[in-house]
Structure 1
Amino acid sequence: MSIAIEEVFPNSHHRLCLWHIMKKLPAKLGGHAQYKMIKKQLKNIVYNSLTIDECDENWLKMIEEFNLENNDWLKSLHKERNRWIPVYVKDKFWAGMSTSQRSESMNAFFDDYIHSKTPLKQFVEQYDSALKKKIENEKHMDFVSFNSIMPVVLGHLIERQFQNAYTNNLFKLFQDEIRGLMFCNASLLKEEGTTLVFEVVETMLGKNGEPVREVSFRVHYTELHCQLKCVCRLFEFRGILCRHVINVLIRMKVIEVLMNYIMDRWRKDIKRGYQSISNIYDDYGCDGERYRYNILTPLIQEVQQLGAKNDNSCSILVEMLKDTKEKLIAIDLEHSRVEQLKEVSTSGAKVIHSPLKVRSRGRPPTKRKQSKIEQIMKKSIAKARKKGVAGSEACSETTLAVLSEILLELL
């Protein structure tokens, strides 16, 4: 497998699963009289070594102390140590992975939908359902990251910078390092030209929360370009700034880190390439961005293949793409300007509409119960209008008729 990987993926990094190796300890060394001591020292070498020299030195001491020079299994492991011991591989980016992570793989994801005895027809249907669920979950997580804000722990400007950039899940991991600051103490050790070397002493806690030991970490800080490097190499290995580096940044009163320390793969405002691939669950018409993207993708790939055939074609294509890019940027800016002008013109000439007619509370006037006086006045006014009396005469005659009717009713 390693030979095939080196041939097919020459620029990749191949590792052995740390969990599987450590799982074989009882089978390979369980018969030794001092097995428990060997296991304890081996775990300390594997998990707690900060430098390669420290790892190699402790390994040789363990071999000599327990007379393990003839153990073929340990010999093979030491020969392949650059493929599995964490201190040898931490200078490469692994997104924090040290094992094959079978429990988190795609196989485990589909276990809820299919099993070894699933018929072929049902397999296709269940596979379809599982994939749809995965897409829905990812879109939901993106929505949550965009529309909710994780509360800060320290409240420092650096923490707020990562709060605005990272997805919620990654910001939680970053906050674990923020919480670890209370156990770290940084002090300036020496100066090497323009680089400051700090010693960060971290107090390690046991299972009961009691201090177990203190570990010293070296952090190199170049103020000119704000370059940082810690001996733990958490950023190189996992893509997250460690508590030791953050401690030095706060000590140096840095309020914002460079963008190269905020990985694009962890950002919530980055559109990932695989999200542009169409699938059967997308609901889009013939005028959406995804539809246009799917039209352009195969054409651009064909042009790319033609341009990569020789240097002349490549240079011509590069110039054409640069010119096309500038034109598209200009068109986009013009379109944005036109949209802004439309919004301004629309907001400046607002149409004022009449207020909506709202029914008043209570019984409608036409159905309201009238008093005796109102009934008499209404009849009198109607009689006056029938006689054709108008103007002031109508008013006086109506008034007299009303008063007469009221007096008669009262008597």
Structure 2
Amino acid sequence: MKWSTAFNKERLDLDILSTQRSESTNNILHGCSKATSSLVECYVGLGKLTSSWRRSERDEDFRCKHGSVTLKYKDCILLKKISKIYTRKSYSLFEQAFMDGAVGVCIVEESRINDDRILFVTQHSDKANNVKQWFVSFQPTNYDVECSCREFQTKGILCKHILRVYNHKNVTQIPEKYILSRFTLKAKKDVYRFKSASLDDFDSNVVFRSHMMRFTYDLIRRVEDCKIARDYVVSVMNEIAKNSDEILDDNEKTKNGIFPDNNKDKGTVRDPPVMWRKGRSNNRPKSHWEKPKKRKSKKLCLKKIFLTFNY
């Protein structure tokens, strides 16, 4: 039940088989190294391969950001909206399913289950010319839909049966819950956007620094073309830096035993204020050299002379 396809129709696996992990690994390693290659040669070949993957991904991101998709049917409102949401490859999969549903799938029966649900019976022929039927449950109020093929649950993109029903009902706007963010143009936007629950995962300064650098870099790349957004980011960053310095100063004072003023009423024992005693002058106390010298009395001088003669 863990690996059989029949028992995994409701799990998102993108049609990846359990054997593809080992097969893909073997194919990659055979392409970048040989049986007689050393460990260093294998490492260098794998590094070159990953660099080419990343370069291809950057090129594809550039084409998705600065290019437009050529629609097979330019007058379709639904395809126009989806082409601005999905990436190029994701849109090609959606468009193929849409065209297969419009051409190869037909609606055999339409019956109402209750006041909110309509059941459509669709059929199409496979490669062996075997006719198969699939049942689509549709709700006209919020366009909620479900198909018995469970292709959306496994692949993440609506199947041709659902798209055929949408086309039959003249639906021009797909609900957001049927558009997974992993296939959209903004899929990478929220990769390094953290929530409060994920902050506990930064148990290391290196991990925190790496994630925050990627997050800020991605934010700067998004706003660099808009002056208003750029000025807003600069002002917010300055405010964040100011507040962070205040927090760091308070934290340093707390470590040194100096508590901030907002904590003085929380049970901290402090020294009493210094009070001047009654009658004390506020003048600065004089030093040793500023004090007047006392004159010696005549009796003391005569006594010293008398003692000297006696000696």
Aligned to 1:183: 104
The residue that corresponds to 2:20 in the other structure is 101
In structure 2, the CA distance between the partners of 1:305 and 1:178, relative to structure 1 (3 Å rule), is same
Equivalent residue for 1:92? 11
Distance in 1 between the 2:34 and 2:189 partners? 31
In 2, Cα distance between equivalents of 1:337 and 1:173: 34
Between the aligned partners of 1:338 and 1:86, the Cα distance in structure 2 is: 49
1:195 aligns with 2:117: yes
Matched, 1:113 2:113: no
Determine helix, strand or coil for the equivalent of 2:125.
strand
Contact 2:125 2:132 (C-alpha < 8 Å) held by counterparts: yes
CA deviation profile, 1:66-103 (whole Å, cap 9, x unmatched) = xxxxxxxxxxxxxxxx2343232111111122342248
Give me the whole-angstrom Cα distance separating, in 2, the residues matched to 1:131 and 1:172: 25
What is the distance in 2 between the residues matched to 1:261 and 1:141?
Answer: 24
**1:257 CA displacement:** 0.4
Aligned position for 2:82: 162
Render the CA deviation track for 1:189-223: whole Å, top value 9, x for unaligned: 232231111111223354xxxxx232211101122
SS of 1:136's equivalent in the other structure is helix
Match for 1:121: what amino acid?
A: V
Relative to structure 1, is the Cα distance of residues 245 and 115 closer, same or farther in structure 2, using a 3 angstrom cutoff?
same
Q: Which has the higher helix share?
A: 1
Structure 2 runs not aligned, ≥5 long: 205-222, 233-311
Confirm or deny: 8 A CA contact 1:219 1:229 kept in the other structure: yes
Deviation of 1:118 (Å):
1.7
How many Å separate the matches in 2 of 1:338 and 1:101? Answer: 45
- Conserved 8 A contact 1:153-1:179: no
Separation of aligned partners in 2, 1:137 and 1:106: 19
Query: How far apart are 1:304 and its partner, in Å?
Result: 5.7
Q: Distance in 2 between matches of 1:84 and 1:236?
A: 16
Q: In structure 2, give the amino acid aligned to 1:222.
A: Q
Cα separation, partners in 2 of 1:301 and 1:190, compared to 1, 3 Å: closer
Residues 247-286 of structure 1 correspond to what in structure 2 (within 5 A)? 247-271=164-188
1:353 corresponds in structure 2 to none
Please tell me the residue identity of whatever aligns with 2:12.
F
Evaluate the alpha carbon distance shift between residue 87 and residue 160 of structure 1 in structure 2; reply closer, same or farther with a 3 A threshold: farther
Aligned length: 206
* TM-score (norm: length of structure 1): 0.44
CA drift at 1:251 = 1.5
1:176 CA displacement: 1.9
Corresponding position of 1:224: 141
Residues 243, 131 of structure 1: alpha-carbon distance in 2 compared, 3 angstrom cutoff: same
Aligned equivalents of 2:190 and 2:172: distance in 1? Answer: 32
Amino-acid identity (%): 16
- Out of 204, 207, 212, the residue aligned to residue 126 of structure 2 is 204
In the alignment, the residues of structure 1 paired with residue 58 and residue 158 of structure 2 have an alpha-carbon distance, to the nearest angstrom, of 27
TM alignment of 1:6-405, pairs within 5 A = 82-102=1-21, 105-154=24-73, 155-180=75-100, 181-186=102-107, 187-206=109-128, 212-271=129-188, 301=199, 336=228, 339=231
Whether the aligned pair in 2 keeps the contact of 1:204 and 1:213 (CA below 8 Å) is yes
Give the partner amino acid of 2:61. D
Name stretches of at least 5 consecutive residues in structure 1 with no aligned partner. 1-81, 207-211, 277-292, 307-331, 341-411
Query: Equivalents in 2 of 1:110, 1:89: separation in Å?
Result: 30
Amino acid at match of 1:175: E
Per the alignment, in what secondary structure is the counterpart of residue 113 of structure 2? strand
Normalised by the length of structure 2, the TM-score is: 0.57
SS of 2:50's equivalent in the other structure is helix
Verify the 8 A CA contact 2:64 2:88 in the aligned structure 1.
Answer: yes
3-state SS, counterpart of residue 172 of structure 2: coil
What amino acid sits opposite 1:161 in the alignment? K
**Structure 1 residue 241 displacement after superposition:** 0.5
Distance in 1, Cα, partners of 2:79 & 2:229: 36
Q: Write the distance in 2 (CA, Å) between the matches of 1:150 and 1:304.
A: 40
Instruction: Output the amino acid matched with 1:152.
Output: L
**Partner SS for 1:111:** helix
d(CA) in 2 for partners of 1:231, 1:303:
39
Q: Tell me how far 1:301 sits from its aligned partner.
A: 4.6
